[in-house]
Structure 1
Amino acid sequence: MTNNFLNGYQFKNGLTVKNRIVMSPMTTMTSFYNGMVTSDEVNYYATRAGGPGMIITGVANVTALGKGFEGELSVASDDMIPGLARVASAIHQNGTKAILQIFHAGRKSTRKVLRGAQPVSASAIAASYPADSDTPRAMTEAEIETTITAFGEATTRAIKAGFDGVELHGANTYLLQQFFSPNANQRTDQWGGDRAGRMHFALAVIAAVRKAASTATQPFIVGYRLSPEEIETPGIRLADSLFFAEQIRDKVDYLHLSMGSYKRTSLSDKTDTTPILRHFTEITQGHLPLLGVGAIEQPEDADDALRTGADFAVLGRELLREPNWVQKVERGDAASIRTTLSPADMTRLAIPPVMQVYLSTAFKSVMHFTTDAAKPTDYQARLAPMEGFEEKL
């Protein structure tokens, strides 16, 4: 076993991380009603800090209309800075870098969540799932420009709160992805049209975030997360996402794929047996690091993800089950790593109560609960719940 993931890495702007293990952004649903940080949230991150080279927080909305669900972090106003600073400080144990994931939910929100306001998106087209999705209102050009500005302002707040970078959440069918998707975006103005036209919103957001990031006095990175494919027709296909990656590869500091398994192959082209990670490596190699996520549980999985093409191995569910994953590998104690989770242990593992509820329901099929007799679902050839797809339980 090589454990190459324990080697450090230096980004082009000088930011150094101590190893290639990243904690995936995971929804806690634990913030206050207005998006302010709670102590439960701080404790959740503190429990998992110290081992990974980087921890990426769950999403924080950049505007009130961008809120996607209850209990969601916000970075939409300066009032949020003190609480976010507590999160950044908790993550910074033993040199772990703190990355704030920022987003706008777009049509993946609801009138209920938005207190009666209609969700917005690129076009007035409801999401395919869930079936009762609200039909959004198409954003005006002025609203688009305001939202782009909001992403930049959110980045400035992340810098003030002490984060080491931001990750643009352009995956899991949220607004950045909606603008690139031919399913959600059927505009005919400068923000829509062909594939290149549908990229304009993401490129403008990246530019605004980059401008804000340039004001940081310490190295500050900008990452981008994307979903390689959509299951709708029309929808984003792998070739589209590879094109997208090529366009942004010299504009951001890393690319993060959102998948339920790092071994995923194409969902739309079953004849393509090449792992999606390898497809993206051909685009990213020599330009920026690639973060591979999904079903990484044991050290050999992390090494295999790096061999498959990732530069970083991203652990999500496994760091819920085993907060000391990195420390145990470093001590040669991998045999004691937990890959299952007892519901009775969730409180002791600092998993917030609300998070415990949805892990036991909507995410039950991917959590490996010791009390679940069903065989864990394999997401090597299908979308996982964390990718924005809602399965019937």
Structure 2
Amino acid sequence: MNPTYKLLFEPFSFRNGVSLKNRIIMAPMTNFSSNPDGTVSDSEVAYYARRSSGVSMVITACTFVTANGKGFQGEFAGNSDEMIPSLKRLASAIKEQGAKAILQIFHGGRECPSDLVNGDVVSASAVQSERSGSNVPRELSDEEVQSIIRDFGEATRRAIEAGYDGVEIHGANGYLIQQFFSPHSNRREDRWGGSIEKRLSFPLAVVDEVQKVVNEHAKEPFIVGYRFSPEEPETPGITMADTLVLIDALADKNLDYLHVSQTDFWAKPRRGVEDSRTRLEIIHERVGDKVPVIGVGSIYSAEDAGRAIQTGLPLLALGRELIIDPDWVQKVESGKENEIETKIDKNAQDRLVVPDPLWQAIVNSPGWFPGV
């Protein structure tokens, strides 16, 4: 191995005692490839197994915790005990290759396509997303909010029973948890909205519920992480200043990690703070030693990863690059980083073991993957 990349391969231990063999994680990516009944498909299992032997931890695509939280065609389900065998199948496939398996749990809120939730699109408030083709959601009642919080806990219990090593609470990318924190989507005037402290109530209640379930059901250390998007483009919307309030609160929750969702590792704040550093540098300094931060965003080459890990972040997640080259980790570890592919080979679907719905999305979305 090139000594430049030695840091990427140092073991890492979470405070709960769970150890990772290296610092490289597979980022959660929607793959649109589950069966119509919500079970994990054969092609999905093969896709994950193909990418699980080099990385130390795999964070799955999001799984919906409530029937009206399904955000994507071909998303796998975690909303009933009937799904435990399906969830277990995926966890086993990942763990058999030597990686820790983390189930990402989520509710799509106002971003759910109407036809996937029987027309019942819900959110913190009846405020339409600015995404084209979106629906005006129905505002959740207090009772429904509490029910969804419990659903996150129940999905966590299923993850434990299915053999996962942890869960990642999906509080990013404009979905329901973020919708409660955002001043764009949350215009409530009850205990779940209004001031920034009240907008924090739902995300923190989900964290509390998940941790309570882990304490009650997990027989061994179980990872709980939280993913968030640092800023929103909308006005009003989440600014970097809001995110500092969020991560202060999350850092006090004894979480195992925070995972920043962004497309560029080196992105700088757009508004809310006057700071020339990257968002990740600001976030990492802010939480200090309280909670490890996972950095992500357009890391393709070994050089990209080497530069990123030198910033002091303990963990890096690769997303698109592990689809482009499933052997990325092994190539760096064996000193063959010059052989890494950094552009998608449009003739290599079978070789790369990518399910057809995901492959079609990749090759028909210019600009999403290098090489398309």
State how 1:204-353 maps to structure 2 within 5 Å. Answer: 204-214=205-215, 215-251=217-253, 252-268=255-271, 272-353=275-356
Structure 2 portions without partners, runs of 5+: none
Q: Aligned residue for 1:153?
A: 154
Give the whole-Å Cα distance in 1 for the aligned partners of 2:239 and 2:364: 30
Residue 174 (structure 2) aligns with = 173
Question: Structure 2 matches for 1:1-393, cutoff 5 A?
Answer: 1-115=4-118, 117-130=119-132, 132-214=133-215, 215-251=217-253, 252-268=255-271, 272-362=275-365, 364-369=366-371, 372=372
Letter in 2 for 1:212: V
Indicate how the Cα distance of structure 1 residues 269 and 347 shifts in structure 2: closer, same or farther if over 3 A, else same: farther
Deviation at 1:293, TM superposition (A): 0.4
Residues of 1 paired with 2:273 and 2:196: CA distance? 23
Q: Percent of counterpart pairs with the same letter?
A: 44
1 CA distance for matches of 2:86 and 2:205? 28
Task: Tell which deviates more after alignment, 353-362 or 177-186.
Answer: 353-362
User: If the length of structure 1 is used for normalisation, what is the TM-score?
Assistant: 0.91
Distance in 2, matches of 1:315 and 1:7, equals 17
- Contact 2:241–2:273 (CA under 8 A) maintained in structure 1: no
TM-score (norm 2): 0.96
User: Aligned with 2:101: secondary structure?
Assistant: strand
Shift in Å at residue 242 of structure 1?
1.2
Question: What is the letter of the counterpart of residue 179 of structure 1?
Answer: F
- Where does the alignment leave 5 or more consecutive residues of structure 1 unmatched? 373-393
**Conserved 8 A contact 1:24-1:56:** yes
1:282 is displaced (CA, Å) by 1.4
One-letter amino acid matched to 1:196:
E
- For 1:126 and 1:317, locate their aligned partners in 2 and report how far apart those are by CA, in whole Å: 30
Instruction: For residues 133-184 of structure 1, give each alpha carbon's deviation from its aligned partner in whole angstroms, at most 9, with x where no partner exists.
Output: 1000000001001000000000000011110000001000000000000000
CA distance in 2, matches of 1:321, 1:271: 36
Q: Deviations over 1:32-57 (max 9, x none)?
A: 12311110110000000111010000
C-alpha contact (below 8 Å) 2:63/2:76 kept by paired residues: yes
Shift of 1:270: 9.6
Partner Cα separation in structure 1 for residue 356 and residue 332 of structure 2: 28
The 2-side partners of 1:360 and 1:238 are apart by 33
